[in-house]
Copies of this chain bind each other. A is one copy, B any other.
Amino acid sequence: MLTESQIAEYRSEGFLLLDGVFDADEIAALRNEVTDLYATDHPGRIFEEDGTTVRGIHGCHTTGALFSRLVRLPELLSAAEELLDSKVHVFQCKVNAKQALRGEVWQWHQDYSVWEHKDGMPQPRAVNAAVFLDDATEHNGPLLVVPGSHRNDAIAPWRPGPEGAAQWENDLSAKLEFALDADQMAEVTADSEIRSVVGRAGSLLFFHPCIAHGSGANMSPADRTMAFVSYNSVDNELREVPRPRPEFVASRDYRPLEFVDGGLIA
């Protein structure tokens, strides 16, 4: 699926943005399914601090029919296999809602910092694929990245949080316990910069589990919905951990994913 220069760009920058991968009908269909999932009671549905605005939906490849197809499309799956040189499984699948004027911050973090410590992931042999379900603009809380920061050895030090069965929810809120602090961000940006990943609905973004990323509040009257699929190599099985996070946040189903034919809307 990917050209050699695209793969080289991903390895160098830690992310790769492809425009126009999904058409308006496909995006509209996914948005409809997202609307249904927002209205469905499920433990993977997370709210903003106001307690009423949906912040995210987790595990949607198991609860949404279209998302179940999405994760198996060659556009995502084949590219993930190429980038990881391996068969893969879906480790996470989620929707970040980032609703108009209400969507809150995702603090700066590196995914692998969490996955290693919370989920026992042995190596960062994983890749995120993000589908833009709305235009992402400078002002609706676009994903922010620091290009090249996945090559930085300084994975954020682990700061254990409060104990308890609901602890996994702390990792999905606007106050992350594994956030990068100002000193770490100053170091990470010393030889790089903060970049807004803006793009049209239908764009597809791949980004590395070690890249420093986050997003600001949505300051616009337009939603910035984004779907994320985190693929993990089937050779990178999670270690046993004392309190594993729920299956819909960190899946231990390592069966290799198989493609579906015929596009998103069969």
A interface list, Cβ under 8 A from B: 100-101, 105, 107-108, 138-139, 141, 144, 179, 181-183, 185-186, 189, 194, 196, 214-217, 219-221
Please give the distance in Å from A195's CB to the nearest CB on chain B.
9
CA distance A181 to B138 in the complex (A): 19
A214, closest chain B residue (CB)? B219
CA distance A217 to B108 in the complex (A): 12
Copies of this polypeptide in the complex: 2
Contact A101 B219 (CB under 8 A): no
CA distance A214 to B219 in the complex (A): 8
CB < 8 Å neighbour of A217 from B189, B217, B221 = B217
Contact B219 A182 (CB under 8 A): no
Centre residue among A138, A214, A219 by max chain B CB count within 10 A: A219
By a CB distance below 8 angstroms, the chain B residues around A189 are: 220-221
By a CB distance below 8 angstroms, the chain B residues around A101 are: 107-108, 179, 181-182, 185
Please give the distance in Å from A54's CB to the nearest CB on chain B.
15
Contact B144 A185 (CB under 8 A): no
CA distance A107 to B107 in the complex (A): 18
By a CB distance below 8 angstroms, the chain B residues around A214 are: 219
A-B contact pairs, 24 of them (CB 8 A): A100-B182, A100-B185, A101-B107, A101-B179, A101-B181, A101-B182, A101-B185, A105-B219, A138-B138, A138-B194, A139-B144, A139-B194, A141-B216, A182-B221, A183-B221, A185-B221, A189-B220, A189-B221, A194-B219, A194-B220, A214-B219, A216-B216, A216-B219, A217-B217
